[in-house]
Structure 1
Amino acid sequence: MTGTATLSKAPAATVIRADYGNADHAADIVKMLRAYAMDPMGGGEDLSSEVQENLVPGLAATPAASSLLAYVDGQPAGLANLMTTFSSFGGKPLLNIHDIVVAKDFRGSGVGRALFAEIETIAQEKGACKVTLEVLEGNIPAKALYASLGYGDYVLDPEMGKALFWQKRL
């Protein structure tokens, strides 16, 4: 399924569901994730050659994984790596946006909104009860986009505060 969104003063972004077996899609997934990794919001360092080599085969081997690619005039402009899991409290699937990136030259042009439109279509197709994502506190432009689309803090009980995203590296 393909979605199209009109960008202000820019060509429309075409969003496709990536095929991990398609060499062009695989190359664009790696290219976009490298751009994200090298951005300050992605840590500011390139992906190792091992990660670059294992990225698409690893996604392909993960049944819960799917990816979207956004193109503008044939150029890769955005990527969303998604993971479908299950909400124990909702009793239905949930769709987690594991990675989302818009190439620097296309930020503010509607590519992110086009990706989110397709993400929400996929969530509806899966009967998901929600879409989740993580965002850095300092990523003000991303937070503004997400809030404008209806995303917000995860809170069960306001007295207990917001949920936090923690990790332990292995």
Structure 2
Amino acid sequence: MLDISKIAAPTDLRDETLRNRAGRAHGGRSQEFVAWVSGEEAGFLSYEDWSDRASAFVYEIFVLHPYRRQYIGSALLSHAESYSLQLNCERIRLKPHALELEPDLSRLKAWYASLGYRDVQDDPEHMEKILRWQSAA
């Protein structure tokens, strides 16, 4: 069973790899979430709250090797999107960067595209997904 919960600090993580990655990602507006599979840490999400600008930013999604290809990354991204909607964000942005050789950047970008993310026209390093169209005033 998959569960996702917010952590107070990177030191809350037991897994050394996740703790180190969360420690590097933590700061400023970031919030970190951990994915649990049957009570074991499987991955994490670093999310930046820019709701004052009706936006959010996914800083990093990382899934431990034994849990890859089990839709945990998709679940973490979906969690970020749902959380963004709760904060009344209209869009969510990220910068795809392969943290390891697998997946490579082109496969990673294709994965994000399959989930509704598109290249940002004026910033080709970033991708974004429209969560809610801005209503006309």
Question: TM over 0.5: same fold?
Answer: yes
Q: Within 2, Cα distance between the matches of 1:26 and 1:109?
A: 21
Gapped regions of structure 2 (runs ≥ 5): 99-103, 127-137
Compute the TM-score of the two structures, normalised by the length of structure 1: 0.59
Shift of 1:85: 2.2
Shift of 1:83: 0.9
Residue 154 of structure 1 corresponds to 120
Query: Equivalent pairs: percent with the same residue?
Result: 19
Change (3 A) 1:69 1:141: farther
Task: Give per-residue Cα distances to partners, 1:22-58, cap 9 Å, x unaligned.
Answer: x5x3444x53154x6xxxxxxxxxxxxxxx8xx28x8
Larger Rg: 1
Q: Which has the higher strand share?
A: 2
Q: Within 2, Cα distance between the matches of 1:142 and 1:164?
A: 13
Residue 108 of structure 1 corresponds to 69
Contact map agreement 1:13 1:110 (CA 8 A) in 2: no
Q: For residue 149 of structure 1, what is the amino acid of its counterpart?
A: L
Residue 78 of structure 1 corresponds to 43
Compute the TM-score of the two structures, normalised by the length of structure 2: 0.71
Alignment pair present for 1:19 and 2:8 = yes
Change (3 A) 1:107 1:20: same
Q: Within 2, Cα distance between the matches of 1:94 and 1:128?
A: 5
Alignment pair present for 1:145 and 2:111 = yes
Q: Within 2, Cα distance between the matches of 1:74 and 1:132?
A: 30
Q: What SS does structure 2 have at the residue aligned with 1:163?
A: strand
Name the count of aligned residue pairs.
Answer: 121
Q: Within 2, Cα distance between the matches of 1:33 and 1:144?
A: 28
Q: For residue 16 of structure 1, what is the amino acid of its counterpart?
A: S
Runs (4+) off by over 4 Å: none
Change (3 A) 1:140 1:106: farther
Shift of 1:152: 1.8
